[in-house]
Amino acid sequence: VSAALAQAVADGDTGYASQTRPVAEAFAGFADQRWGWTVDPAAVAPVADVAVGAIALLRILTRPGDAVVINPPIYPPFFEWVRTVGASLLEVPLTDGRLDLAEIEAAYAAGASVHVLCNPHNPVGRVHTPEELAALADLAARYDVRVVADEIHAPLVLPGATFTPFLTVPGGAEVGVSLVAASKAWNLAGLKCGLAVAASARMRAVVDALPADAHWHIGHFGALATEAAFRDGTGWLDDLLASLADRRDLLGSLIADRLPGVGWTPPAATYLAWLDCRGLGLDEDPAAAFLRAGVALESGLRFGRVGEGFVRINFGTSRDVLSEAVGRMASALR
């Protein structure tokens, strides 16, 4: 990635992204190698980032007032994306950290037109199972719902867990569009390049309906970096995943030792953990109490009402910083 960017700067090649096909091909190669997912590069459309892609897809798939399903606790901008397009939110919270298919069916039956799915799920770090995703695809087909699958964290599935692309489960391609990027795994978010992927003629029509000039809106450096990451960055990614698994396990032992009142389920993916602080006896937002001890966590409240009493920690850091953070969190409780 660095070499690709440095070369472009040395060449003065700092204009618009000229070609986007190589990015799509690099992603197709990565998807095949990593997940055995055959992606047609012609059915991949670049978008400036996943947020821009999600909003653009929602504009195509909804009319003002339509209901859109999301599953709190959820990455906070999901709420905003739905509001931005004038749709209404139909919140179907996770149950014990999993998709609640019965409640999702009720929401679909109540007239939802789109479901914005998060897989792997930010903030709980869950990877939805093939069975859950197939059941979801079946419901979506029955109730005529389209699924926008935000799969931005897919490269960050940790050793021992398996990522299932939504478009690969039976029926998934007929109802879903996937949004992917190299931006989380390789820390390229500032360079601006995401990808919308379709895998059926029906959903290809949706991707093809994205604004025709959208490919001028991606960052040229984003495209170069994304291509390099997906094509040549898998060894680096594997090292990263080993480090993240180590930090997740360290976080588990630190919590057991220093914060025994905190509940959590070790995440299968991402560098994020969702900590249940409701048993700590803090009578305010736990993030505020931890901030006074010098640890900045995301308040659970940002992830929906069900996030009250929770915080989200980013464990993508050194062992020392992580130990220090948990030590300070413990001191905040004394």
Kindly identify the residues of this chain, within the stretch 135-154, that bind ligand PLP according to CB under 6 A: 150, 152
Site string for ligand PLP, 1-40 (x = CB under 6 A): ----------------------------------------
Residue whose tokens read 């029955």: 142
In the complex with ligand PLP, the residue whose CB is nearer, 118 or 297, is 118
- Which of residues 124, 180, 181, 223 is near ligand PLP by CB under 6 A? 181
Name which of 30 and 143 has its Cβ closer to ligand PLP.
30
Residues 115-134 binding ligand PLP (CB under 6 A) are 118, 122
Question: Phi and psi of 329, rounded to 5°?
Answer: -60, -40
Least distance in Å: CB of 150 to ligand PLP? 5
Min dist. Cβ of residue 49 to ligand PLP (A): 3
Which region among 5-13, 48-56, 216-224, 259-267 touches ligand PLP (by CB under 6 A)? Answer: 48-56
303 binds ligand PLP (CB under 6 A): no
Would you say 145 or 181 has its CB closer to ligand PLP?
181
Among 62, 119, 168, 183, binds ligand PLP (CB under 6 A): 183
- The binder of ligand PLP chosen from 44, 49, 182, 325 (CB under 6 A): 49
In terms of CB distance, is 81 or 264 closer to ligand PLP?
A: 81
Q: Structure tokens of 192?
A: 């601006």
- Which positions from 187 to 226 touch ligand PLP by CB under 6 A, shown as an x/- string? --x----x--------------------------------
Rg (CA), the chain: 20
CB of 332 to ligand PLP, least distance (A): 26
- 281: region left, alpha or beta (phi > 0 left; psi from -120 to 50 alpha): left
Three-state SS for the chain is CHHHHHHHHHCCCCCCCCCCHHHHHHHHHHHHHHHCCCCCHHHEEEECCHHHHHHHHHHHHCCCCCEEEECCCCCCHHHHHHHHCCCEEEECCCECCECCHHHHHHHHHCCEEEEEEECCECCCCECCCHHHHHHHHHHHHHHCCEEEEECCCHHHECCCCCCCCHHHCCCHHHHEEEEECCCCCCCCHHHCCEEEECCCHHHHHHHHCCCHHHHHCCCHHHHHHHHHHHHHCHHHHHHHHHHHHHHHHHHHHHHHHHCCCCECCCCCECCEEEEECHHHCCCCCHHHHHHHCCCCCEEHHHHCHHHCCEEEEECCCCHHHHHHHHHHHHHHHC
- Min separation Cβ 116 and ligand PLP, Å: 9
Q: Whole-number minimum distance, CB 305 to ligand PLP, in Å?
A: 19
Residue number with CB closer to ligand PLP (81 or 143): 81
CB of 148 to ligand PLP, least distance (A): 11
Cβ atoms within 10 Å of 239's Cβ, excluding its own: 10
Which strand ranges, in their side-by-side order, compose the sheet holding 298-299? 272-276, 310-314, 298-299
Of the listed pieces 49-57, 79-87, 218-226, 310-318, which binds ligand PLP according to CB under 6 A? Answer: 49-57
Quick one: 51 or 326, whose CB is closer to ligand PLP? 51
- Judged by the rule CB under 6 A, the positions of this chain that interact with ligand PLP are 49-51, 75, 118, 122, 150, 152, 181, 183, 189, 194
